[in-house]
Structure 1
């Protein structure tokens, strides 16, 4: 029976929206949740938040290339199902923790077992006809951003009405249902013989990664993406608590949920538009313009004196962030072969995790020692410096290819 790529695509799209809603209904509120578990000082909560972000990133960095290699050798669909079922269980477990140490352990397992974005993008990139690939990748990135916008809004409202534990349990069930939907309705015509032959030629995932990183444009993308994510991750633990510090309403959970929701929504729109804009101005120019805008918005957030100011700047920053992520996905597809896309996105996901790994804990300590605002200024300066270096590196790659 001929498989319909459209049925697969729209099922994956809907499942990814559900999964990200579940994840984002819980994750942004963990800095507030640990205060309910006994961490009362904001500086201590900031450091704990940094640790939670770091351990999740570390676990993902270690596991991502393994899952990427398994996707190319065992099938993409099993990796999508694994990421959703594993992530759903971890979110549900948050409902039963009793200490910040237990939250930290659950976050560690979550980082190792999830990774739905990479799994879905890999499957879409290898099952979608080339004429529709740009549209499909844009829509999948849009699914992530849409889920990231709806999740905090739903999660914030649910926490206000039902409390943290019931809300986290419901969020976990939603992610599990997404995994079940993929298992039931997504079909994959996976050639195990061809996959085994590829595996015997290329060896284990470490050798695969080394081979791919010899492709100079891909090496530049991977390195740049890791450092971009590091600059983003610096402010990750700071934003929720900075909102709490500025909030005068005493209703910070719903306020934060609304701001995070609008930020994700704007990012979703930007990720869909990125494909069209790249045809007009080029992927590289689009990427670097978005990087400069992100640096500007980071710096401006450091000067915020009210929730409205900070929230507005975060929403504008979400637009630039959506363009950055989608541009890097498009560029990656253009520099590696189709049979290597699973491994390439696995390496890219590992780079993403490596960038996130040190960022939260470093940002947490900077915020605790030097003040919340200083984290935004440092992140903006680092991102601007990185933009210049990355531009020169990509220009050098183009000269090498034409020379």
Structure 2
């Protein structure tokens, strides 16, 4: 078997286990925080919000630094750093006795983030270019499917054992990821020589089209913010639609999971289409679908229709986020791929953090449906910037 194919298999398993590990503890953070001290539910929600956001803040700040290190010393070294670092920090969370220790550990976890982007960067540098769309989307299904299964696994272990035990199990899963990366992932480590050190000082100096890259990063932020903005208000939105609390948690869980289900089902096919028809064409189709889904969600009054739209959202995500990553790598030099994807990781983390704030604040001031309209507007504006930039680039090419 070719080396890159073996790496795809191993890294798919690694991203899957990392997805399970991250998502199986997130639903219980508020309860875990509340169990540490005798506090009101309102205070526990506030503090758990800080705990949740802490790692994202660190990721936004340090991802470009780790991207530079990855470009210099290789992506396999970063896979080992991420998996071992997450193993240690998440295991220690199981021993935390107060919320401030938990916040500190979440910050340290942010320093260890980045397994999936480094896995993608490693494969991009090894796999045939004509198959990259399919492979990138395939790796995405690993993390997405892990995120889907994680809350179920975490719920079972938390119910049968304890929430603290869930942290230890997560730590074990991430240690398995470390061992897989250590013994089965191989890389042609093209280290940058000392004479090339000057060329690594400024990533932006060597970006052919800075405006294009910034627009792509903006798109990542806006699309991810749109996804994250719905999560904290989805249960309330469903309650408004059905007019009762009967089976509310089950229905909310199903609605939350549907984008991931469709993402898994269609990601590889969409990746093949991107290889055949071009990344930008598929990206614009995904953007259009995302805008349409958000607009339709703002007027839906049927639970079945909402479920259908949530399913379509997963297809839209599979047509946008992986394609943005691939487009970024196609428009920078190979030696800077790590940094390009790390900036995209920062944009993704920024979107996740801002999206939660947008969803809760806008729905508190206006109606919940206003969140969908705002998402559609922001994505449309970002898409217009991309169209203008591509048109400008085309005019320069033919002038």
The one of 201, 216, 221 aligned to 1:221: 216
Structure 1: which 5+ runs fail to align?
none
1:211 Cα offset (Å): 3.2
Matches within 5 A, 1:2-401: 4-30=3-29, 33-34=32-33, 38-41=39-42, 50-97=49-96, 101-192=100-191, 194-198=192-196, 200-204=197-201, 207-212=202-207, 214-239=209-234, 248-249=245-246, 252=249, 256-279=252-275, 281-302=277-298, 310-370=306-366, 372-401=368-397
Whether the aligned pair in 2 keeps the contact of 1:234 and 1:364 (CA below 8 Å) is yes
Distance 1:189 1:52 in 2: 38
Using a 3 Å threshold, how does the CA distance of structure 1 residues 168 and 346 change in structure 2: closer, same or farther?
same
Q: How far apart are residue 259 of structure 1 and its match? A: 4.3
Change (3 A) 1:131 1:66: same
CA contact (8 A) 1:26 1:152 kept: yes
Q: Deviation at 1:328?
A: 0.9
SS at match of 1:235: helix
**8 Å Cα contact 1:20-1:144 kept in structure 2:** yes
Name stretches of at least 5 consecutive residues in structure 2 with no aligned partner: none
Distance in 1 (CA, whole Å) between partners of 2:106 and 2:260 is 22
Moved more, 80-89 or 234-243: 234-243
Specify whether residues 249 and 7 from structure 1 end up closer, same or farther in structure 2 by C-alpha distance, changes over 3 A only. same
Q: 1:93 to 1:381 in 2, by over 3 A?
A: farther
Deviation at 1:301, TM superposition (A): 4.1
Mapped to 2, the partners of 1:326 and 1:347 lie a distance apart of 14
RMSD after superposition: 3.3
Distance 1:195 1:286 in 2: 38
2:63–2:342: 8 Å Cα contact kept in structure 1?
Answer: yes
| Total equivalences in the alignment | 395
**1:370 Cα deviation from its structure 2 partner:** 3.8
* Distance 1:228-1:39 versus aligned 2 partners, 3 A rule: farther
Retained in 1: the 8 A contact 2:55–2:109? yes
Q: TM-score, normalised by structure 2?
A: 0.84
Q: Are 1:46 and 1:238, in contact at CA under 8 Å, matched by a contact in 2? A: no
- Structure 1 Cα separation of the partners of residues 46 and 373 of structure 2: 19
